[in-house]
Amino acid sequence: MDRFDAMSVLLAVVDAGSISAGARRLHIPLPTVSRKVAELERHLGTRLLVRTSRGLLLTDAGRAYVAAARRILGQVEEAEREATGEYLAPRGALHVTAPVAFGQMYLMPVALSFLEGQPEISLRLMLADRQISLVEEHIDVALRIGHLADSALIATRVGAVRRVICASPGYLARRGVPGSPDDLAQHDGISFQGFATAPEWRYRGDNVAFAVEPRQRLAVNTTEAAIQAAIAGLGIIRVLSYQVDDELRSGRLQVLLAEFAPEPLPVNFVYPGAGPLPLKVRCFLDWAVPRIRSRLAGLHSASA
């Protein structure tokens, strides 16, 4: 039995939540994954996983073994990266993640120009509107919007994005323009759910934050759907400024209650702080940070 291979399979199963999901993640047959987990349990002489109606649960021995396996495989990966010269020249696979719309609009052009000058680096750009674990998903750099929780990650600030409330001219002509947040209680709203940094219905008044929500007329789980509904005149939305930049420029949407807007949300690149930084990561940050800063500064100046 290849212990490192067995550890990798076990971690894939645990992270994916089931043996079948682990097999899909690894792109190997389900019976093979099941057999390798069973062989590892026989080798250790203990159960690591318990199957329940809600999925897989780790036993006490399983939790301890998984923690040790993550540490061991991390050390092996670090040794391999150093041995292949990753710390001597910018080369290898670079894994980066960002929110979907921000990644498409701002990070993708920067990443493409970066790759043109780095022929020895390959990029995997994972765009997702959820906070991805850098350790579990083997991510080198993440772009995150919002206030960061305390962690072992290192953060490099690249700017901020405003939270805006807006509606279409047609809706405002029909229902009137709210003069204060309290007026929103008499309006229809479009709720967006599913993104951790989605703006809340919060405002500033006399330096004290408070919240008022319009009546929920529609709830969706994608920003694009919420924006389209607002353009159609269904109600008022609150989004991040870059998500409706084109709509605001064209006049299809108008910003409301700007004087009550809360403080902008910070935008950071984050990356693990343990050990030396691979050159591929340093090169990417050196290239991307000033360019994203410039793009965000241009967004704010254009919308001011």
Question: What does pLDDT average to in each consecutive run of 10 residues of the chain (304 residues)?
Answer: 89 88 89 92 92 84 91 81 68 91 93 94 90 83 86 88 93 95 92 58 53 86 91 94 91 93 90 80 95 85 52
- pLDDT value for 206: 43
pLDDT score for 166:
95
Q: What is the phi-psi region of residue 82: left when phi exceeds 0, alpha when psi lies from -120 to 50, beta otherwise?
A: alpha
CA distance 263 to 57: 41
The CA distance from 195 to 223, in Å, is 9
**Amino acid present at 47:** R
Q: Does domain 163-260 have CATH number 3.40.190.10?
A: yes
Query: If one looks up domain 92-145+271-303 in CATH, what number appears?
Result: 3.40.190.10
Range(s) for CATH 3.40.190.10 in the chain? 92-145+271-303, 163-260
- Rounded Cα gap, residues 39 and 36, in angstroms: 5
Residues of each domain in the chain carrying CATH 1.10.10.10: 3-83
Q: Which residues contact 256 (CB under 8 A, 6 or more apart)?
A: 165, 166, 167, 177, 178, 236
Any idea which fold 3-83 has? Arc Repressor Mutant, subunit A (1.10.10)
Residue ranges of alpha helices (H) inside 45-125 are 60-83, 100-102, 108-116
Burial class (CB in 10 A: 0-12, 13-18, 19+), 251: exposed
Identify the pLDDT of residue 303.
52
Q: How far apart are CA 159 and CA 154, in angstroms?
A: 16
User: How many other C-beta atoms are found inside a 10 Å radius of the C-beta of residue 203?
Assistant: 21
Instruction: Give the pTM.
Output: 0.65
